[in-house]
A and B are shown apart, each in its own frame.
Chain A
Amino acid sequence: MARTTFFDQVSANRRNSFLMAAFVVAVLGVLGFAIGFGVFGEPVAGVGTTGVALAFGGLSAAGTYFAGDKLVLKVSGAQPVTEQSAPQLMNVVREIAIAANVPMPDVYVIDDTAPNAFATGRDPEHASIAITTGLLQKLDREELQGVIAHELSHVRNFDIRFTLIVGVMVGAIAMLADFFLRFTFWGGARRSRGRDGGGGAQLIVFVIAIVLAILAPIIARFIQLAVSRQREYLADASAVELTRNPYGLERALAKISGDSEVLEAANRGTQHMYFTNPIKKFEARSSNLWSTHPPIVERINRLRELTGEAPLSAPEAATMAGLE
């Protein structure tokens, strides 16, 4: 049973990734066209700005594809570890890499007392995982194994590539929209209207472009977040599939949820990559559209479902959600 659902989830995950990428490309294209047509009043100009928008998106995606992981590690203050400096961590990572049948990733440690972890890279051959010192201190071996299995599931499922590229593409939409809106407000549109004499079609497209520029970044971000939350559930399920042991991960989640520290190294740009949401004060306590992660109570309950245990009772859940 659990196996079927696992493979169903993987294929749903792949489909979502593709749809998300297609959506982002389409939005970039349409937005580019509407801006070009709306501002210059000519479809040819629209095609030109579409090209510029797609090239811009494509270039930033390509840049991220090859250097994004290094950048993220640098920004988070991650230091590489060796066999000598963290033998147990390296052992656990090697075990799970064998279980997941992926090459041994590069392992990093972030000097921060808040317990958390993330994985990044473009594919399993170029993957890194980073763990905070707080996580190493607070979790026992079995719990650490659960967290590492969760992170290596992101690696194995190619979530890391999706996260890198889509993060940047969503950023590109936002930048393009922002650029256009500023340009409009500072008189760009007036100039073009004067030159053209003001066609009705141009005005309509121009209005559409403004609406798109306002809505597209918001919608893109919503979808990215929804997919991000879905991936967390999938990575939890995959972790159990790898370790054949849901208890380590379950205990790790419970322990981390009881920890109220904020991870200083995380910011708005990197929070969606972590094991649990590192910036708790920004986020509401229950599920909401702006969360990068599902609520921990819900993640624990889904794990308990796998083992046939009853979900957390209402008081237990309330305590945990309060701590989260």
Chain B
Amino acid sequence: MDNLPLIIIVVALVLLVVLAIGIYNGLVQRRLRIDEAFAQIEVQLKRRHDLIPNLVNAVKGYMGFEQKVLTDVTNARAQAVAAGAQGPAQQAAAENVLTSTLRSLFAVVENYPELKANQNVLELQEQLTTTENQISFSRQHYNATVLDYNTSIQVFPNVLLAGPLGFTRREFFDAEPEAANVPTVDLSLS
């Protein structure tokens, strides 16, 4: 009976350690899910970057008067590729610019019947559309995992362990924050 207090303390400590291990593992798992979701986005972004030069080449010959739209797309692509190393927020911003220049390009393509009938252009357009949709659905998924993780490092008791163990907040891959300043396309042929 003498060592009852000791037993209680030991049991309490063991329980605390088990709890801490559980919290730690849970946080690691959530963080890995973010990385996995981000990897999925990156695959699709890469695919889009690879498709764009093909599209530019396919339409170049037809669009004599609207070279500016093409240079915009090419520049936006170069910036998006460069932004790849600067973290999700920067990358998302650059990708959004690229998305809007691509939209402008497709709007211009509508004005060229030969382009609209070109099988190669149609295929590239379909590939880019699906890649863009996949990016936006993957982004929804990525942001959901980030939200889940950010919440889990801030709730009690996780918050006591998250800081000391190096679990920091992650950035969202933002959905078109500057939709207001979509570049305008000059369609005048003069």
Contact = CB atoms under 8 A, between A and B. Distances in A.
Interface of A: 87-88, 91-92, 94-96, 98-99, 101, 141, 145, 242
Most buried by B among A88, A94, A95: A95
Nearest to B127: A91
A99 B129 CA distance: 15
A99 B126 contact: no
A94 B134 contact: yes
B50 to A, nearest CB: 16
Contacts of A101: 141
A91 B141 contact: no
Contact of B137 (A87, A88, A95, A141): A95
Interface residue tally on B, bucketed by range: 10 to 19
Interface in B20-46: 40
Closest 8 CB pairs of A and B: A91-B130, A99-B137, A95-B133, A98-B137, A95-B134, A98-B134, A88-B126, A98-B138
B140 interface: yes
7 contacts: A88-B130, A94-B130, A96-B137, A98-B137, A99-B137, A99-B140, A99-B141
A98 B141 contact: yes
The secondary-structure label for the interface of chain A is: helix
Interface in B115-167: 123, 126-127, 129-130, 133-134, 137-138, 140-141
B126 A91 contact: yes
Listed residue (B40, B127, B133, B138) with the most chain A CB atoms within 10 angstroms of its CB: B133
A88 B137 CA distance: 17
A145 B126 CA distance: 13
A92 B130 contact: yes
Contacts, number: 28
A98 B144 CA distance: 13
A227 B141 CA distance: 30
A101 B142 CA distance: 11
Nearest to A87: B126
Contacts of A95: 130, 133-134, 137
Given A94-B134, A98-B134, A141 B140 contact: no
A92 B138 CA distance: 14
B185 to A, nearest CB: 23
Given A95-B134, A99-B141, 7 more contacts: A88-B126, A88-B130, A92-B130, A94-B130, A99-B140, A101-B141, A242-B137
Most buried by B among A98, A99, A141: A98
Contacts of A96: 137
A92 B131 CA distance: 10
Contacts of B138: 98
Contacts of A242: 137
B43 to A, nearest CB: 11
Contacts of A87: 123, 126
Contacts of A92: 130
Nearest to B141: A101
Interface in B28-68: 40
Contacts of A91: 126-127, 129-130
B8 to A, nearest CB: 41
Contacts of B123: 87
A98 B137 CA distance: 6
